[in-house]
Structure 1
Amino acid sequence: MNEQYYRITLHDYAKPAFVTFDKAYYGSLQQVSDFIRALELDERTKESQAPLIQAFYDFKGGNTEATHPVCFHDAKLLTPVKCIGTKQFSLGPRKWDHINIWGCPNPLRYESVDVTFYWFSEKGSYCRCMTAQFQNLEMESLKGTWHPLADVTWGHPHMVELEGSCTFNRLAVIESRFAKHIDLLDNFMQFQVPEEVDFTEFCNDIFGDG
């Protein structure tokens, strides 16, 4: 593929507040730019995310080693990765339980979802990642009624967005890992329409540590 993709390391909001972890996301420069712009335009996040925003503009200004604070250390903002390929699928309705970090189920359902899978390779690290756009993603309440997600998520700000009936993530999250490069290639070549997609990391960016 001709388009350059990057790994970006951010705080992992789906971990208990008394510990700190980072989380890898993946995207093109345009996808990262759209994510940063959303943070910058939001009065609720532009100050708290200022170091991340500034690091991105430093990168665009030519500092490819730009860093930002993650988990009490300075992490490189963007690391180039090789994208082996992408595949897109449209899937029909599904109901399932997302198990949050505390082991509790969050019953979810959707009418349809468009999923884009990406296969990335980076110096001995091989993974299949995904972005998704859900139509009418809903959560079941304790009373057994279904309702749309709230417009404020508990994961990283502006990673998952809700616009009308659509819920989508701005950057790709890891869905599966592979031990060897040949395993990554084989998976890409043989991958067909999946019966089910593992949306765990997507949902972690909705619910965070809640």
Structure 2
Amino acid sequence: MRQKVAQLRSDARVNREQMLHAARELFSRHGLEVTTRQIARHANVGTATLYRHFPSRQELVEAAFADEHDICEAIVRQALALENPRDGIRLLIEHTLEFNARNRGFVESAIAQGKTSPRSAGRRNELLRTLTTLITQARRSGRLRADLTLDDLILVFSAGRGIEGETERDRVAAARRFSQLTLDALRASGSVPDSWV
């Protein structure tokens, strides 16, 4: 009996990992518009099995992107830790836009205003507070346009979701170009052209 229960638990773990892998893969390629039915089919399980593990779509999204949230938080912490806040803004924009080019669903999920769990909402709010601090420090440096706001930065990341390309390599190249154009636009009037270098 114990062996049978252990086997059932093992099967459940395998199913869960299959569903998370399928969700990550499809969200990464196509964004959050992927349906739970498509994810279940990709994972070779029924939709009922998927809902037993993840009673709501939001729970599935949050579980699928748990690692990505950690990476995003690390990028923001690294940006804030740089001595020059301009370099922090540059690192943040370049890494986030490239990250989005590689994983279309994550940034869409991270900046969404929709329903989230209290834990995810808390993490998101903490990230936004850190970004606000970084923006304030960068503006004070005199090399960043003085009217930049957190909403502007979120607008940049939202625009990055529209980057297209036949391959991931094409999307990453486009994201890097978009990063440079964005950084040029954020430079304070009168700053020298190499002020982001």
TM class, shorter-length:
under 0.3
**CA radius of gyration, larger in:** 2
TM-score w.r.t. length of structure 2: 0.25
TM-score w.r.t. length of structure 1: 0.24
